[in-house]
């Protein structure tokens, strides 16, 4: 049995089971009367309706996938596939390559990852608001100084302060815009 370690929440690691094993299928995968397999997934990294569309499209492009429905409000997906043509592992790998994390829903406490994402997003928002408001005050001082004749050393100081305050906005708060590092663009 091949097991891989994955970080499902900050500081919490679990071993992923072999998705192709009979024991895994028996516990987490439902075999339908028509011979297709069905399971439910938790998908992390969904930030908007565009992410839902992208993740559904990725799953549907896999040969053998019959249905893929993603719900944005609870970050869950229903995934149906023909076991002779596709596998759960290939679907999860496809999602991961595109910046989403998918796990069988039964392996994860469904509230924990979403609460962690919400808390992290809130921190990023607070940093962005704090820094942006101060950058606006600096801009007002620079505009006033432009018309009243501000000395160069003060202009340089305000420019440096603006740069220092904009850096965390760009590199900490702006990291949710992951499409910059991906090979395809999206709504982000």
- CATH (domain of 36): 3.30.70.100
187 located within any domain: no
For residue range 13-42, list pLDDT tens digits in order.
445 567 777 777 777 788 888 989 888 888
Helices (H), the chain: 22-28, 49-60, 88-97, 111-148, 152-171
79 with 161, same domain: the answer is: no
Listed residues 108, 128, 149: the one ending a domain: 108
What stretch of H or E contains 39? strand 37-44
In three-state secondary structure terms, 81 is strand
pTM above 0.75, yes or no: no
Domain final residue, candidates 60, 82, 108? 108
CA distance 5 to 13: 7
* Structural domain containing residue 141: 113-181
pLDDT at 48 over 60: yes
Q: Answer yes or no: is 186 within a domain.
A: no
Shared-domain flag, residues 88 and 161:
no
The pLDDT confidence band at residue 1, using thresholds 50, 70 and 90, is: very low
Segment 143-188, tens digit of pLDDT: 998 888 889 999 999 999 999 999 998 888 887 665 445 545 545 4
Same domain, 60 and 119: no
Chain-centre distance for alpha carbon 27 = 27
pLDDT tops 80 at residue 65: yes
Per-residue pLDDT at 155: 92
Which sign does the torsion angle of CA 137, 142, 146, 150 carry?
Answer: positive
Residues 115, 119, 125: CA angle, nearest 5 degrees = 145
């Amino acid at each position: 049995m091949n097991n891989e370690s994955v970080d499902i929440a900050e500081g919490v690691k679990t071993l992923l089971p072999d998705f192709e094993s009979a024991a895994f299928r028996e516990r987490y995968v439902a075999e339908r009367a028509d011979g297709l397999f069905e399971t439910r997934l938790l998908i992390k990294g969904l930030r908007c309706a565009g992410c839902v569309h992208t993740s559904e499209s990725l799953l549907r492009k896999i040969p053998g996938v019959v249905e893929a429905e993603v719900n944005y409000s609870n970050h869950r997906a229903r995934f149906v596939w023909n076991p002779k043509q596709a596998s759960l592992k290939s679907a999860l790998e496809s999602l991961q390559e595109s910046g989403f994390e998918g796990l069988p829903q039964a392996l994860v406490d469904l509230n924990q990852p979403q609460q962690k994402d919400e808390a992290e997003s809130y921190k990023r928002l607070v940093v962005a608001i704090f820094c942006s408001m101060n950058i606006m005050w600096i801009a007002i001082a620079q505009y006033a100084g432009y018309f009243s004749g501000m000395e160069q050393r003060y202009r340089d100081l305000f420019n440096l302060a603006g740069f220092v305050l904009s850096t965390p906005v760009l590199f900490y708060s702006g990291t949710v815009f992951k499409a910059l590092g991906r090979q395809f663009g999206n709504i982000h």
